[in-house]
């Protein structure tokens, strides 16, 4: 969803509020693509602070389906985002790159709301998502989800100091 910002520059102190719905059904994150489970309205308030400066404030509520870090089952993770930004329209794209203040959600005089929400999500996605604190994960041998079933795989971890002796036994093992 793009918002044209040109009408805010007609006079200093001009304000405008928006209530929008996200167009995105998925969000591309560094570790994968997550589906949007629930998306509430995005509320934005823009204020012309003068000297081609805009103050953006707002909030957004949504939920993403993210796989559990242990068992890979999808977990619905809710987010309540607070948006507070100062948009300096005097800077060129090169100036923003030099100042390490790139704003990919700002394209000329258009504000890309989906990209703005994605940038905020990148900062708020948890490092590890668990379906349950007691999640058992998956078997590293057969791939069975240990929360729903048990497997007969040997999960004993041999002592690495005994690997030389185990190699000797394997050599003399009858086939």
What the block records as the tokens of 116 is 């703005």
Interval 79-88: pLDDT, tens: 999 999 888 8
Interval 5-21: pLDDT, tens: 888 878 888 899 999 99
Confidence of residue 128 (pLDDT cuts 50, 70, 90): very high
10 Å CB burial of residue 44 (0-12, 13-18, 19+) is buried
Give the number of other CB atoms < 10 A from CB of residue 9: 13
What is the rounded average pLDDT for all residues in the chain?
A: 86
Confidence of residue 53 (pLDDT cuts 50, 70, 90): confident
What the block records as the tokens of 132 is 């349950």
Domain definitions of the chain by residue range = 2-124, 137-175
Residue 141 φ then ψ, to 5°: -100, -55
Instruction: State the first-to-last Cα distance of the chain, in angstroms, to the nearest integer.
Output: 68
Residues pairing with 86 in the sheet: 55
């Amino acid at each position: 969803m793009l918002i044209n910002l040109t009408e805010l520059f007609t006079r200093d102190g001009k304000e405008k509020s928006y209530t929008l719905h996200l167009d995105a059904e998925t969000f591309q994150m560094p570790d994968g693509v997550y589906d949007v489970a629930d998306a509430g309205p995005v509320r934005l308030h823009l204020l012309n602070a003068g000297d081609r400066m805009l103050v953006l404030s707002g909030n957004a509520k949504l939920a993403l389906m993210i796989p559990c870090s242990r068992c890979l089952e999808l977990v619905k993770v809710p987010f309540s985002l607070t948006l507070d930004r100062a948009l300096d329209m005097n800077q060129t794209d090169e100036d923003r790159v030099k100042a390490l203040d790139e704003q990919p959600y700002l394209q000329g005089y258009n504000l890309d709301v989906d990209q703005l929400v994605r940038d905020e999500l990148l900062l708020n996605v948890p490092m590890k998502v668990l379906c349950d604190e007691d999640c058992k994960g998956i078997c590293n041998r057969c791939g069975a989800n240990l929360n729903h079933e048990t497997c007969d795989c040997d999960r004993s971890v041999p002592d690495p100091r005994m690997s030389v002796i185990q190699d000797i036994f394997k050599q003399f093992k009858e086939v």
